Each structure stands twice: as C-alpha cells, then as structure tokens.
Structure 1
Amino acid sequence: MQSTSLRIIVVALFISILGHLILFFGIPFLSFGSPPEIADDLIIRTELKLEPPKKIQMAKAPKKKVSIDNSANKVEDSKGLATAEQGGTGNQQGVAFKLPESGIIYYDAYVDGQKYQTGEIDWIVDGNNYRLHINIPYAFVGPFVFESRGTIDAYGMAPSIYWTQRGTKPPRYSRFDRDASGGGKMYFSEKPEFTPDLLPGTQDRFSLMFQFASLLNGDSKIDEAGYIRALPVVDYNTLEMWQFKSYGETVSEDIPSLGKSVNRRYALMQRENDPYKRQVDIWLAKDLDWLPGRIRSREANGRVLELIFIQKNPLPAGTKP
C-alpha cells in the first residue's frame, strides 16, 4: 500500500514538473503544425535558365602599416596604399569576392515562435582556411550543432567536411572529396553507397550563407530584386541544386537589433511538383559585412527554427580554424 502511494506521488510530481517545463519551454521535440503554403513567387513552374557557379577573384584588402609619431611617442595604425590578396586563388579573372571578418555572432534562438537561449555562430577565417560552427540550444533534447570546415578555392567557399548533431544523437557527416578543378565525389555517413559527383561551387546548408555574404562584400550591386541564384547544396544525405530568389537591397527593420538597416533577403524556391522539404529565408545585413542577421527555416513537419542577430564580438586571441 505504501509503495503504491509512493509511486502515485512520484508520478504526480513528475507530471507536475513536466507540465511546468512545457508551460515555460514548449515541446521542441514535437510539432503539431503542418508545412506552410509557399508564396506563389517562390514556386518554380517552368524550367529556369540558371547560371552555373562562376569563378571568383578575391578582392584586395588594404594592408596596415605602422606609423610612429615621435613627438607623442605613440604608435598607431593607418591605412597604407599597398594591398594584399585575401585568400590565395591567384590572379584568375572572376566575380569579386571578399570574406567577412572573423567573429562570434550571437542570436536569439526561436522554435515555433518561442524564444529559447542564445544561439551562436563562430566564423573563423585564417588565410585560405575557414571554420563555421553553429550552436542552437534546444530544451530537453540538447543543442543542435552544425559545423562546416574547408578552404577557399577558385569558386569561393569550398567545404571539406560538414557535420550535424542533434542532442545526444550520433553526429552525421558529409565529406567533400574535391579534386584540383573543384569537382570530385561526395560521401555521406548516412548513405555510404551514395557517392554523387561533386560539382564545382558546391556548398553545405550553412556555408552557402557565407558564400552569398562574400559575393556581396565583393560587389553589393549583384543579385537585384527578382534575380535567382542557383548553387549545388549538400545536406547530411543529399546533393541538390537549390535556387534562391533575391528580394534586392531594402531598408527595413527585419533585424530588430540593427533598427532601420540595409538588408538583402534570399528565399529558397520550391518546384511545383516536388514534395515540400523546407523553406529557408536568409536576411544578410550590410552593417555586418553582409553576414546573416536573420535565418529562418520552416521544416517539413511544420516546425519553424529562427535565429535573429543580437551582437557580434571579436574572436579570442589565437583562435584558429
């Protein structure tokens, strides 16, 4: 009798605690929504004439030189006239390309409109190497972690490994085995038998945003409203051509922490007859060297994940990709 009463008390206590957690944090591991309707202008109904990824030319950045003010016994930096290439793709002709400066970017993280803890993107560039690490906190199931590592090649961002881990589940890997021309083969931990050809300029789900940012840093006049930019994109078990529609340069408050600011929104387009997968919207902010100020992903099950920019901090000294 006592043991039965104790079990009832324990169960009641567990239900009470669970109820309070759900009240305050929601149920991130369940979604009762359904895929939202896609805006009509984002549905592909005919075959599009798309330009393949183009080779890049690294923009030249000013070198810093040290000038000594003997009268004040003071050393300060000033911009010199010499220039140095950022990266190492040589002097090939191509579209202008300039990587955003490294930093740690903090975001408010939302799941189905409910605010969670702060998300973080570590963007680290050292010469021709980069590391992109994303951590999105998630109640109950643990953080969502994504990482992309690679180099800068003749087409821009060139991931070599992309992995993702949700909570305590084992990580899933996508490996880019690139050759000298930027092509090669893809390998997936989820589908070992699936080894599609790797196209030059192929990105992963997160490196593509920094590819866009680097192109806009090189030439902010590209991708005017209505332009459709296509690029091959890898997820954890797929390689597909994604088409992003540009809404052009606008002044808006879509990134609240920046107030009225100049932004560029790109939205993933969907083919009319394809089953709904996800809807991705990216807002790139001019004040952030076109780094993402807002990212929204509507999953196939109806769940909406969103990151909205809070602030950007410099990297700790000595941080390497």
Structure 2
Amino acid sequence: KAKGSTIVLNEVKGLIKLKLVHAKYFYTCTITINDCYPTTTTHQEWGKACDLHLTKTNFPPKIEHMLTTQAQELVRRMQDGMPADKALKMSNPVKAPSSSVDDVDTPDKAKTRVTQQTIKGLKKDMDTLAHVRDLRQIDAATKQGNATKKLHSAKERRDARRNVAKITNREREADAEVEAKWEEEERARMAGYDISSFDGSNPQPSLLSLLTFLTQKIQRLPEETCPICKETALLSDPTKLAALYQPATASSTATAADKKARKLARKKRPMRVYCGCWFHHDCLDTFMREPPFGAACPVHPTRRVYHPDWPADIRELERAYMSREARRREIEDVANFI
C-alpha cells in the first residue's frame, strides 16, 4: 500500500471508493458492484458488473483515458466469459498489426467455419433458385415453331407469377431477419463483446482483476522507466507532464520559439507500446527507425515492439532508413565540396 492510497468499502450500497497515490500523482475512482455480480441481466447493462467511474486524477487526459478505457474493457470481456489473462490481452488499446507473427500475443484470427447449418442453407438457396427458374419458364415458355403462342395456359402462367412473388417476399423477410440479427451482434461487438464467441452464460468474477489492474498499471505508472534511456517515463511533476500535451498554437500566430518548444515537448512525451512498456517518444522513434529493425523489447525479449505511429513492416522501415542515409550523405558531399 502506497502512502496516501486509500480504499473505502460500502457493502450496503455495493460501492468501493479507491484512491491511488504514487509520489505526486493520484487517481481517484469509484467501483459500483451490480446486484447480479458477476453477471448482469440485459445487454444495456453489459460490462457493468463492476462499473468503474473516474472521480479525479492529475494524469494527462490522454494517458488517463487509455488506462480507464482498458480497465472497463477488461471487465466487459471477463463478463463475456474470458479468463483474466486473455481479457487483459484483448483489452489492450495498442493492437498488434494483422501481419504480426507473434503467436503468443496476437489475438486469434477469426476463422470461417463451414458447419452443417451452412451447408443446409446453401442447399436451400439452390433449391429455391431452381424452383423460381422453373416457374419463370412456365410463364415464358412458348410453343415450338410459334413464338407468339404460350405453351401453358393463362391460369398456369398467372399462378407461376404469383408463386414467384410469394417466394420473393418470403426470402426478403428472411433476409431482413438475418440483417436485423447481424446488426444486433454488431452493436454488441461495438459495446465490447462478441455474441458469436461469448453469450454471457459463463461470466468470470472481475473485481479482483480490476483492482489488480488499477494498482499495477495505474498506481505504479509513475515509477515506470523507459527501456532505452532507463529514466522514468513520466516527469516527476504532473504539471510539467500535462504541459507536454498542451494543444499547439495556431500556425498563423505560432512563433519559431513556440514551434521549437512543441518539438521538444513531443520528444519527452511517454508512449505506451503493445507489450505494455512506456518509452519516451524520442527514444521510441530512434528505436523504431534505426537498425536493427523489428527488434524485441529490451524488457520483454520474446515480444516485438509495436506502435501504430510507426510502420510495422520491416521492409518499409528499411527503405525509409536507406532514404534518410542517402540524403544525409548527399548533404555531407555538398558541404565538403563547398
């Protein structure tokens, strides 16, 4: 327990008030425990088995939002039935690229399965199309040698057209039902869970995992060190750290000093990568853009460093590096000539 950190339990209201303090940083939140914990009863309540609400913090909004969102996503996925370790991995806001070959940390790719139900659906569609084709032939068929005379009577042709209309309406209604179901599943996925994989029938208790995440990932964040320079990733003064995220001055009024200050501030910003480590922006930029490309994290040797602000393709990084080196040599040659 860090000095100044507190936890207050209200068993009657199912409420936990948590204050995490480390050095000059603090993070205060409330956790409301649903009466049906660890599950809930409706889709509208999904993910609220442990409802986390931020009360106050002096972490920069960008860092706070990233961590709070991951904590909430962790609870939602565990309520879907995911085990804690996989839910933590899947809730990571920094995603590995789809081309990643890291089998340990890359989420399982979606696989299309050909089930018995799929085959039955295809067979039904083929039978329906064949039936419609036969009905249309009844309506259009003519006598051999006389294209002006119909092969079937007017009643037969009229019945065929009616049957085609009935089949069309029936299939349209079935398609609408499938579309509505798909939209419901899509809204569910946007809310943080996948009905096709998890139906909420086996919710996992998430309170301990949530509290563990808050203490390990948020409370200990101020002591995280950059793997490259070995200095703390966050500045010791929260006010100075917040100043690194101040919005840029309008280009029409920005002075040279303003632009230089913004550039220096950007270099010092802490950046979280896929493996969970925090780098300074300048350190990460050097690590990503200079050889060896695709190197593993110094802290986690089995994991490659990924961040969406830098290309994941090693060949693209190599081409950019060679281009910069060629340009640098040209400038040196011109300088030596002059």
TM range (shorter): under 0.3
Give 1 or 2: higher helix fraction: 2
Give 1 or 2: higher strand fraction: 1
Task: Name which one, 1 or 2, has greater alpha-carbon Rg.
Answer: 2
TM-score normalised by structure 1 residue count: 0.22
